[in-house]
Amino acid sequence: MPGSIRIAVIDDHPMFREGAVQTLTCMDGIEVVGEGATAADALKVAKELHPDVMLLDISLPGGGVEAAASIARACPGVRAVMLTASESELDVASALQAGARGYILKGSSGTEVVESVRTVFRGGCYVTPGLAARSRIEMEKRSGSAGAKTASELTPREEEILTLVSRGMTNKEIADRLHLSERTVKHHMTNIMRKSNVRNRVEAMLMFCRKTGS
């Protein structure tokens, strides 16, 4: 279907995978082009079919986070979204650090799954709102904030770098992409973290996800 978002679903539970495929197939503008059950399947589908978005269970045989990292390296045009039962903040952070562009729970409605897919397809990042809110509260507690803080306005270059960080790119990869020195990218990252009141790249990605997923 011309103009459709091409999706692959990788999950080792056949009934859930079939249900997800059926739900997505009924949605306008969505085309399911591949399925699989393991991390190896995920990488094979990514390389052979080049879907726009790939839904991955974090507990895949071979590792969902490992699959997301392999796909980010081998097929950067394929955007990985974790669709999982795990509400662990460590899993959220690990998935985003590995290059996943989204993290949604298996209890989510079909409408939310499609919303997350469309957000990620447009270049954004999406984390199930409840998980993102929990992460925000934890960040505020650690920073000693009594309430929500609004990040200062980022410059266009900082916004550009934060977008690339959300895609799991390293400072060196960002420097190469933007024709900057790695030292300049590090300087921008320092400014981004200071303005956004976050401590590291994962928290910066979560902040970006809340912004683009809102």
Residues 124 and 155 in one domain: no
pTM of this prediction exceeds 0.75:
no
% of the chain exceeding 90 in pLDDT: 46
User: How many folded domains does the chain comprise?
Assistant: 2
Domain stop point among 129, 156, 173: 129
Domain stop point among 64, 98, 129: 129
Q: How many CB atoms lie within 10 A of CB 26?
A: 10
Place of tokens 């997350």: 116
Domain range for 195 is 135-213
Please write the tens of the pLDDT for every residue from 47-77. Answer: 999 999 999 999 999 999 999 999 999 998 9
Return the CATH number at 88: 3.40.50.2300
HSE of 125, CA atoms in CB hemisphere, 13 A: 26
Please write the tens of the pLDDT for every residue from 157-173. Answer: 998 888 888 776 778 88
**Separation CA 186–CA 188 (nearest Å):** 5
Residues 45 and 69 in one domain: yes
**Separation CA 4–CA 33 (nearest Å):** 11
Encoded tokens for 24: 């997505």
pLDDT at 45: 97
Q: Is the pLDDT of residue 208 over 50?
A: yes
